[in-house]
Amino acid sequence: MAPAANSQQIQDLEKIIEIQQEVVTSSFDLTHLMSLICERTQDLTHASAGVVEIAEGDDMVYRATTGTAKNSLGVRLNINTSLSGLSVRSNEVLYCEDSETDARVDREACRRVGARSMICVPLIYQQKAIGVLKVYSPEQKKFSERDISVLKITAGLLSASISQAREKTEKEAAHKAMTENEQKFRALFENSYDTIMVSRDNIVLEVNDAFPRVFGFAKEEIIGHSLLLVANPSETTKIQKNISQGVELPYEVECLHKDGSALTILVTGKTITLKGENIRMATLRDVTAQKKLERALRDSETKALEVARAKSEFLANMSHEIRTPLNGVMGMVNLIGETALDSEQRKYLEMIRTSADALLTIVNDILDFSKIEAKKLNLEMIDFELKPAVEDIRQILSFAASHKGLVFECHYDQNLTKYITGDPTRLRQIILNLASNAIKFTAKGSVIIGVKEVLRDGQKVKLKFSIQDTGIGIPAAAIKNLFQSFSQVDASTTRKYGGTGLGLSICRQLVEMMGGEIGVNSTEKVGSEFWFTITFPIVPFLKDANLVKIDFKNTVQKKWRILIAEDNTVNQMIVKSMLQKPGHTLTIVANGQEAIDALNIAPYDVVLMDCQMPEMDGFEATKQIRKSAGAWKDIPIIAMTANAMAGDRERCLAAGMNDYVSKPMRVEDLLTALQKNLK
């Protein structure tokens, strides 16, 4: 799991343990406990409101409220028409993503209080649901699986607190009835919830009524006997040492119930002198349930890791399922674009291309975020020429800028470093994301990409990249969260301009991976300047042979015999169209076994291998090719797959493949991979 995600889980665990400690150390005032846990749960889930509802007859009554519901104490909801009532009746955790479309909720009531999404978790007392712990928000789909997990834990704490509070109330009432005529000291002694033990020379003189409740022994079975009677034999030495040293600080020991079950006891003792004798008074608190809860919290962390793994598997599957048809759509658009079209048809085709590109951007954002989150995105360190890398962005976005009538230029320092070492692909990605955002949010005026040297120190140079626009600007209050994951200025931004809210987060993380920093200066209705600084090693002398560039002219002139293993007929057609025009000889097969059979029949220069195919997938086929005794065992194999998650490239290389091209494929990427592996 990524350190960022692991850190969040640790923070959640620490906060929940803090809540638990507050509960344990607070009074058993049920109203206070409900308010405390309600408030802490709202904070943990970032909800707008938190509510504890208790079932009373046919009503669900607000007994603790926080946030926007703070003044709603005592509100009653019908148990038969509310989501909280359904949670109690079904004894199930219920999550409403959108109250406007969820038939289980009272829509009008939700509108009145601003509850668009909500979570209800039952509160259990004596194996029966007696109420719910609820949080809600005016945003739809506000809450995550992590929020549900947090609510389950805090609801468990509250259920335990309610049980303890009710049981304590009942026991105190019974105890009071039995001890009304006893002496005041005896009443105080026996009323203690914890066990109180009085001993001399390790022999028990007196215990209170809590002792049999906790340990299962009658008082008569311990009074006059060694206090070690209830200790786990392995703890004897520690207990005797602490008593002899007069230790007063609380310490834990493992004890045994009369039935043999293990107990964890928190001991606080003090030695006093009475009539010349050393008397040991100790309070024994049963923390067995607390320790059980801590184990449950650790288990919940394990489950959270399992959820994260399941999320990664889900994203991997979704990547493949989305990219495969998207490759077909974009490939067919390119093929149609090369045919004779009238102006209206070409306009429609460009609309399809734009929509497909937008979808691909969203998919790539999600996948890049997953790779960064999993710490599996590796940066390249290669020599490249700086200006052409930036000019690529201007060429890519020039059509979008001119279409809106914007001035779109690149400005450079006069003596700008020519060659540097780094990752040109990720540098372009950062600039492209920031520049495309600037064009998106600018209706008129200009977008300027600037590159200048901030500091040159020996063989290193610190460069500042800036993207200035005359767009809508950003409110000052929104800037602090702008580079966070899934964050945009407000919900209307997503509705009007689209996007995942991941682009700027990815930019920030990429810049930080490169050892730099990123920021923004903005004024509403005036414009914004996004900037980032990165320090690069300088390449003083770089021959053309070392430059990162692809000679597509030579790629076209060279004729190769290419074996294509691809089961999808649309993708077969697309790859065929990409490679037939340059005049390469192509053989297409539908699975890994057919690829092996084809290699046994005729010689080939390279294999383009899909990873997921029927009968035999690309991974197994590659392994068999590499293990074979054939002359073609070392043939270059290029993965050609819709899998683009963190670790997929490494899996391809581990199987014996030489390179990796992800779908949707661009002809430039495919030709680049071919030329790279067929030098």
Residue 371: the pLDDT is 65
Residue 8: the pLDDT is 64
Minimal CA–CA distance to 573: which of 364, 330, 358? Answer: 330
Minimal CA–CA distance to 503: which of 559, 436, 568? Answer: 436
Q: Report all structural domains of the chain as residue ranges with CATH numbers, in order of start.
A: 3-175 (3.30.450.40), 184-286 (3.30.450.20), 382-546 (3.30.565.10), 552-677 (3.40.50.2300)
Residue type, 344: E
Backbone CA torsion sign across 512, 514, 516, 522: negative
Q: Inter-axis angle of helices 3-25 and 145-178, to 10 degrees?
A: 10
Q: How many other C-beta atoms lie within 10 A of the C-beta of residue 414?
A: 5
* Residues with pLDDT less than 70, the chain: 1-9, 12, 24-28, 177-191, 308-309, 311-313, 315-321, 323-324, 327, 354-355, 358, 361-362, 364-376, 484-502, 541-557, 643-647, 679
Residue type, 308: A
- Extract the tokens encoding 653: 């290389």
The Cα 561–Cα 579 span in angstroms is: 10
Residue 188: the pLDDT is 61
The Cα 545–Cα 180 span in angstroms is: 98
Residue 598: the pLDDT is 93
Residue 312: the pLDDT is 64
The Cα 475–Cα 524 span in angstroms is: 6
SS3 string, 257-321, reads: CCCCCEEEEEEEEEEEEECCEEEEEEEEEECHHHHHHHHHHHHHHHHHHHHHHHHHHHHHHHHHH
Q: What value, to the nearest 5°, has the Cα angle with vertex 592 and ends 591 and 595?
A: 95
Residue 427: the pLDDT is 92
Give the alpha-carbon dihedral of 667, 672, 674, 678, to 10 degrees: 160
Residue 170: the pLDDT is 78
Prediction pTM value: 0.43
Minimal CA–CA distance to 630: which of 669, 657, 597? Answer: 597
The Cα 443–Cα 401 span in angstroms is: 10
The Cα 297–Cα 293 span in angstroms is: 6
Query: How many angstroms separate the Cα of 332 from the Cα of each of 349, 569, 578, 670?
Result: 10, 12, 11, 16
What single string gives the DSSP state of each residue in 434-477? HHHHHHHT-SSSEEEEEEEEEEEETTEEEEEEEEEE-S----HH
Residue 67: the pLDDT is 93
Residue 179: the pLDDT is 62
